[in-house]
Amino acid sequence: MPDWSYHIIFKPMLTKLSPYTSREFIHRGMNAIASLPVGSHIINFLGREECSPLLEKQLDGVKYNNPVGLSGKIDPLLSGTKAFSHLGFGFIEIGPITMKPSLNAQLPIINREDKQIHFPCKHESIGLETTIDKLTTIKKKQPLFMRISGSKAEIFTMIQELDSYADGYIIESYDPSYVTLTSKPIYVVVPSNEKTETLVNLFHTFSGVIIDGDSFIEILNSVQRLKKIDSSKTILTSGGIHEPDQALQLLNAGADLVMLVDGYVFSGPGLTKRINEALLNRVEQPSLPQKGWKSYWIFGLLIFLGGLLALLFSLTTIILPYDELFLNTKKENLWNFNDRIMLFMAHDRMTLAGTMISGGIVYMNLAKNGIRRKLKWSKQVTDIAAIIGFLGIFLFIGYGYFDWLHLVFWITLLPFYIYGFYQTRNVQGTPTSTNLKNHRAWQMSLLGQFLFVLLGFSFVFGGIIISIYGVTSVFVPTDLLYICMSIDQLQSFNENLLSLIAHDRAGFGSALLSVGLLVLMIALWGYQQGNKWVWWTFFIGGLPAFITAIYVHFAIGYTTFIHLLPAYFAFIVYICGLIVSYSYLSKINPE
């Protein structure tokens, strides 16, 4: 669940429910999605939790993709752990695990004003047997730490039963005899205000310690004290992190791994991704530009120029000589028969032209600012939208008319795309971000991202609907009211006219679908603080499509409110998204 959906859609509703109900609703819903055959792909599409190899580390024989983990306190019933494994965590804590279930334990107390969760001493637990059953259903993607609680004999039994699933153990007892039970690392939990003398003894006995607490300052001080005692031992922290900056401070002070607790709830599920992007921003990145980006850029340029040419035709001749050949009549006859037919076709072709111009601008920006910098998400956005656009050519013949000019255009674009695709096939770069704080600009950006995601989904939905109409009934009711003729009257005048108009409709629908995917995926994957080019891509890229779509309706007198309502809605969403996103995307360090 990305932050834009969590904060804008779900959190306002969940705060009205009890903590237990809201937690289980979210976790079970996420788990249901993760359990689908394509569930992991859906989660990745919406949240894209990828991690750079530059953040990898190895501690006590265990490899981590990144140093950010999730505390078991967040999901004690393991109702969402299958989903959590796909959310980009470097490791996940399971538990606390007890021999017998303890489902009637006192529930956590949520303090929304201080943004803290106070967990009781006796945690909820589903018991050892049910925990093992759940672990067998999880497709392991990162190390799992088992946090076990109970008597000495029970801990001995649990370690034996869990050893095939565990990469390490977390215990709350200072008994040194546990280290003889397994070859895997054992970390002991200590409160953030523990005395230094106790910490010295624990360091000599266990693989490392976990500093557990609510106060960031106390945890930070404890990490600094521990680092002075023995810099070779592993230090983990649990709690105290609500912003990326706090995680970076703990890691800079000497913590090897950090676990999110209440910060995950109040700051949102995207906190993990934000921390990893901030960490990567401090790592030196390869500076050489990616080969093949220029081919992708030329691909976008050709679409842009093709859109300009289509715009010119829509403002002048409207239909071309080969269209007249297909109709077996001159355009003057169409003007004389019903001038609104020609105006309606100009409307279709101008909206297609504006969409192509917008798409070309977006493709060029993705190539120059994304693919050139080796960003994998930029390449995938380009590839998905381009392939859908190429396949759209088959919609043109859905009603019996194949436009050879479109085929020539398709063949012209294809070599540039294929060359760019091949040259960038090994691109693996992940995004960075300057975002460190939960400041107002970040809070406003969540609304901005939501609006652009909504805009992208709207374009995709609209493109699909228009494409379907283009290869089936062709017109919506308001179209026929504008033309002032029925389909039978049009066909009786010229039996090929319907196919020509359908070809235009399907072409526009395909283009709108492709551009909608561009907007949607950039909003989902490219929304990092300081990405000024993303804001300008939305701004400049959106203008041609909106200007042509709205202008042409007024120019030809097709101003039916219900017909233009989707365009009005999309334009308002577009403007509002630009306004609330500006500070976050355009400024490296907004106030």
Question: What pLDDT is stored for residue 550 in this prediction?
Answer: 95
Question: What pLDDT is stored for residue 448 in this prediction?
Answer: 95
Average pLDDT, the chain: 89
Range picked from 230-239, 266-275, 414-423 for highest mean pLDDT = 414-423
| Contact partners, residue 282, CB within 8 Å, separation at least 6 | 248
Across residues 480-498, what is the average pLDDT?
Answer: 92
Given pLDDT bands bounded at 50, 70 and 90, which one contains residue 367? very high
Asked if 273 and 52 touch (Cβ cutoff 8 Å), the reply is no
| Contact partners, residue 521, CB within 8 Å, separation at least 6 | 377, 380, 381, 384, 385, 456
Question: What pLDDT is stored for residue 114 in this prediction?
Answer: 66
Write out pLDDT tens, residues 101-138.
886 666 666 766 666 766 666 778 889 999 999 999 88
Higher pLDDT, 105 or 247: 247
Q: Which value, to the nearest 10 degrees, does the dihedral of the CA atoms of residues 328, 330, 333, 339 take?
A: 110
Across residues 534-549, what is the average pLDDT?
Answer: 96
Q: Which value, to the nearest 10 degrees, does the dihedral of the CA atoms of residues 543, 546, 548, 549 take?
A: 170
Write out pLDDT tens, residues 207-241.
888 998 888 999 999 898 888 877 778 999 998 89
What is the distance between the alpha carbons of residues 209 and 191, in angstroms, rounded to a whole number?
Answer: 10
Q: Which value, to the nearest 10 degrees, does the dihedral of the CA atoms of residues 573, 432, 145, 98 take?
A: -30
Write out pLDDT tens, residues 47-59.
888 888 999 999 9
Residues facing 69 on adjacent strands: 91, 259
Question: What pLDDT is stored for residue 172 in this prediction?
Answer: 84
What is the distance between the alpha carbons of residues 240 and 220, in angstroms, rounded to a whole number?
Answer: 9
Model confidence, pTM:
0.91
- Helix-, strand-, coil-residue percentages of the chain, each rounded to 5: 60, 10, 30
Given pLDDT bands bounded at 50, 70 and 90, which one contains residue 513? very high
In 164-318, beta strands by DSSP E: 168-171, 186-191, 208-212, 234-238, 257-260
Question: What pLDDT is stored for residue 196 in this prediction?
Answer: 65
Residue extents of the structural domains in the chain? 3-281, 293-428+438-586
Range picked from 22-36, 275-289, 419-433 for highest mean pLDDT = 419-433
CATH number for the segment(s) 3-281: 3.20.20.70
| Contact partners, residue 553, CB within 8 Å, separation at least 6 | 347, 559, 563, 564, 567
Question: What pLDDT is stored for residue 200 in this prediction?
Answer: 66
Given pLDDT bands bounded at 50, 70 and 90, which one contains residue 591? low
Length of the chain: 591
